[in-house]
Amino acid sequence: MNSPDTSVYSHLESKFGFSWVPLMMTGPNAGKRPTEKNWTEWCEERRPLSAIRYQWSLGIATGPASGVIVLDIDNLTKFKKLGLDVPKTFSVRTGSGGEHHFYIYPNDGQKYGNRSYANGTGIFDVRGIGGQVVAPGSVHIATGNMYEIIDDTDIAEAPQWLLDYSLTGNLGGKVEQPAPAAKIAPPVTNMFDWDCSIDRLPVKQSTRNLITCGVPVGQRSEATMTVLCALVWSGLGDDDIISIFEQYPIGEKYLEKGQSRERWLLPQIAKAREMVVDRADMSSPGKSADNGFDRPKEGKAKFRKNDHLGPARSVVASFGEDNLIYAPDNFFWTWRNHGVWERIDDREIKAKIPNVLEGETFTRGFADAVTDMAKTVAYKPDHKFDVTMEGVNCRNGELIYRDGGFILQPHCREHFRTSLIPVKYDPKATAIRFESFLREIFHYDDDKLEKAQLVLEAIGYSLQSYCRFEKFVLLVGPGANGKSVLMSTVMALLGIKNVCAVSPNQFENRFQRAYLHCKLANMVTEIPEGHVIADAALKAIVSGELTTAEHKHKPPFDFRPYATCWFGTNHMPHTRDFSDALFRRAIVIPFNRIFTEAEQDKKLVAKLEPELPGILRLSLEAFAGVIERGSFTKTKSTEQAKQDWRLESDQAAQFINEACDMDPEGREESARLYKSYRLWAADNGINRLLTRRTFTNRMTRLGCQTVKGSKGARMVAGVKVKDNYRDLSF
């Protein structure tokens, strides 16, 4: 499939100054449907191209803001037979083979709206105030073809027949119905809050397609009754159904015949209600109907005794179409139009039941059964959250990395993001105090600027919903050095909901591992002395490998963690993994400065909070450099700290470094060498000792050799113990 040609947008902006609306990339009517709920305001108030962020194609809001009324021809052959005048003007070939002809929107005080000339099948539409057309340069999702300019001339005056048809619907004596209005149906009062949007109706997508696309002549009677039954089933009242039929193509037959509500539509609705009730009555004795409930005329739900499926369906529908999911992690998730999918407790499902039952009494067992049935209704066994793992989800949109930087785009439900940081993105925000704080904590380091940059890169990495670079952060140093302030600030930036605190010695615990699910960071502010990291599990988590976890009283589930691990410690933690696989994943940042009591600012964390937008900007700019280079900044002190940790963690290597000399001519009895190691360990307060076999194997990996001495004694060649650790008891 082609990608949108943004250069065409820029050309149109400079030439015509259109008003722009971003279009959806996924979902119903993808590539044509605006991403914003109140997009029609840009039909009357111009929004320039520079004022929006978009992830796919763009639309042009028709009407006075763009100064255009558009003739949208769907069927060129049938349109030509109408013999209508089409003056030369700026024109576009659509992705499906039709044409858009742009004309000047008259400034005469009249409101030229939308019309659709169907005559059995779609022939042409008029798009005026309250409408939009896909802009050239955009891509037709179904065909993959681009909308192309076929005549790049100036926009001409509109033909009179087009203006008359827009106002009256009269075309040569024939009256046609209005096109679907941008602002759909008036507010409703029924059991479902469908938010005045066809996409929020609790009906199947096939039914929505019938409503919005219309039906060929000869099939309309059957389609009309199918839609009426579905709308009755969903709980809509008569007024709401009438509004839909008067504003959408499904009502073509009703409007063409000039039928009144009382003579045709209301009797049809009544017939649909009877069919719905009859369908419920056809269920077998002792079993509930397949729809789960009957619908009396007023459109309210009346549930049968011991029926759990009906109330469960109503509870799920009350969240809005496709806004509730029971996921493989054994939790409900819901979309509330806040830019993020939220995990909710079963109690929220149970709290909906009284509204569905309209005051009827019920038992705790009934509520449990309905909740369990709701899990089945909303269950999606193969569902995956965070499908678009690139970028950062913030309060005012999604920040997507493109061409060396991050750009802000609207939230998208179909991205299924589970994290939302509590900060708005501002490309002009500053963080003067935070930058000063970084300079202060690394004041005495020769590489202080590089270390400050590395900290920002690590923060930027923690904002991402992936672990592509396979890194964890270890902040090392004694107290009163700024580690806690930094970690508290990072937590505030990420949001407490997006952070967990699983200690690294608990990574092998399946219940503890479950807390990492859908978290941006795992932040442990202090690792106890003598702590041994579960290194194999840490490597798997840092790399985002598939793992199995479990919540209490729930079945196990599989997931890939992406939480960036941050550990604060006064001393290096112990590990049994001495391979490069662990240490190459580590970003070790030493904190060498100790602040005196007089130098400490106890309110610094609170002072840094207003600078979170600036910290967000700085960290994303720093991490953009990581993406471009493919690696994090390396500094002299951080690399040396990593080597020191490796040496300190490797007891055998540390023993050689402090108690031995590597001597090609040296030889030590294996038993005596191990005894010397034990003496050295006791002097250094090391309690967790290596076994003799592990110690000997480690020595050979460090360059020694095992050989046989006189009388078959086992020897270790290539090393010589210093006198102060030589065991004289042998």
Give pTM, 2 decimals: 0.56
Is the CB of residue 24 less than 8 Å from the CB of residue 35?
Answer: yes
* Burial (Cβ within 10 Å: 0-12, 13-18, ≥19) of residue 324: buried
Integer Cα distance of 141 and 149 in angstroms: 18
Is the CB of residue 212 less than 8 Å from the CB of residue 249?
Answer: yes
Q: Is the pLDDT of residue 9 over 50?
A: yes
Compute the average pLDDT of residues 686-698: 83
**Residue range 425-451, pLDDT digits in tens:** 999 999 999 999 999 999 999 999 999
Q: Is the pLDDT of residue 303 over 80?
A: no
pLDDT score, position 310:
85
**Which range (164-178, 235-249, 354-368, 620-634) has the least confidence?**
164-178
Is the CB of residue 463 less than 8 Å from the CB of residue 621?
Answer: no
Neighbouring CB atoms inside 10 A of 33's CB total 17
Structure token digits, residue 485? 């302030």
Integer Cα distance of 521 and 671 in angstroms: 46
pLDDT score, position 304:
57
The model's confidence at residue 607, banded by pLDDT at 50, 70 and 90, is very high
Is 565 in a helix, a strand, or coil? strand
Neighbouring CB atoms inside 10 A of 667's CB total 17
In sequence order, which ranges of 214-319 are alpha helices (DSSP H)?
Answer: 220-234, 238-247, 252-256, 266-281, 309-318
**Which range (542-546, 562-566, 649-653, 671-675) has the least confidence?**
649-653
**Residue range 664-689, pLDDT digits in tens:** 999 999 999 999 999 988 888 777 78
Q: Between these two residues, 504 and 333, which has the higher pLDDT value?
A: 333
Diameter over CA atoms, the chain? 119
Is the CB of residue 665 less than 8 Å from the CB of residue 710?
Answer: no
Integer Cα distance of 291 and 299 in angstroms: 14
Q: Which of 66, 152, 49 is closest to 112 using CA atoms? A: 66
Q: Taking the CA of residue 52 as centre, how many other CA atoms within 13 Å lie in the half-sphere pointing to its CB?
A: 28
Q: Which long-range contacts (CB under 8 A, 24 or more apart) does 435-444 make?
A: 435/618, 437/482, 437/485, 437/486, 437/604, 437/608, 440/482, 440/593, 441/481, 441/482, 441/486, 441/591, 441/593, 442/592, 442/593, 443/593, 444/592, 444/593
Contacts of 663 (CB under 8 A, 6+ apart): 718, 719, 720
Neighbouring CB atoms inside 10 A of 150's CB total 12
- Tell me how far CA of residue 724 lies from CA of 163, 680, 728, in angstroms: 103, 9, 10
Q: Which CATH number fits domain 655-725: 2.60.200.30, 1.10.260.40, 3.30.70.2170, 1.10.10.10?
A: 1.10.10.10
Q: Is the pLDDT of residue 456 over 90?
A: yes
Share of the chain above pLDDT 70, in %: 85
Neighbouring CB atoms inside 10 A of 282's CB total 9
**Which range (119-128, 307-316, 330-339, 512-521) has the least confidence?**
119-128
Is 449 in a helix, a strand, or coil? helix
Q: Is the pLDDT of residue 90 over 90?
A: yes
pLDDT score, position 307:
74
Integer Cα distance of 438 and 483 in angstroms: 11
Q: Is the pLDDT of residue 282 over 50?
A: no
CATH topology of domain 6-175: Prim-pol fold (3.30.2250)
Neighbouring CB atoms inside 10 A of 472's CB total 22
Q: Is the pLDDT of residue 349 over 90?
A: yes
Residues of 63-94 as b/e, b for ≥16 C-beta within 10 angstroms?
bbbbbbbbbbbbbeebbeeeebebeebbbbbb
Q: Which of 455, 573, 438 is closest to 503 using CA atoms? A: 573
pLDDT score, position 524:
92
Q: Is the pLDDT of residue 181 over 50?
A: no
- β-bridge mates for residue 129, sequence order: none
CATH topology of domain 432-646: Rossmann fold (3.40.50)
Q: Between these two residues, 184 and 485, which has the higher pLDDT value?
A: 485
Structure token digits, residue 237? 């009242």
Integer Cα distance of 363 and 356 in angstroms: 14
**Residue range 283-294, pLDDT digits in tens:** 333 333 333 333
Q: How would you list the strands of the sheet with 499-500, edge to edge? A: 499-500, 521-524, 564-569, 472-476, 586-590
Tell me the helix, strand and coil percentages in the chain, rounded to 5: 40, 20, 45
Integer Cα distance of 293 and 310 in angstroms: 5
Chain mean pLDDT for the chain: 83
Kind of pairing between the strands at 714-721 and 660-669: antiparallel
pLDDT score, position 63:
92
Q: Is the pLDDT of residue 8 over 80?
A: yes
Q: Is the pLDDT of residue 422 over 50?
A: yes
Compute the average pLDDT of residues 363-367: 88
Integer Cα distance of 617 and 31 in angstroms: 31
Q: Which of 151, 53, 140 is closest to 100 using CA atoms? A: 151
- β-bridge mates for residue 175, sequence order: 170
**Which range (93-97, 578-582, 599-603, 719-723) has the least confidence?**
578-582
Is the CB of residue 430 less than 8 Å from the CB of residue 456?
Answer: no
pLDDT score, position 727:
66
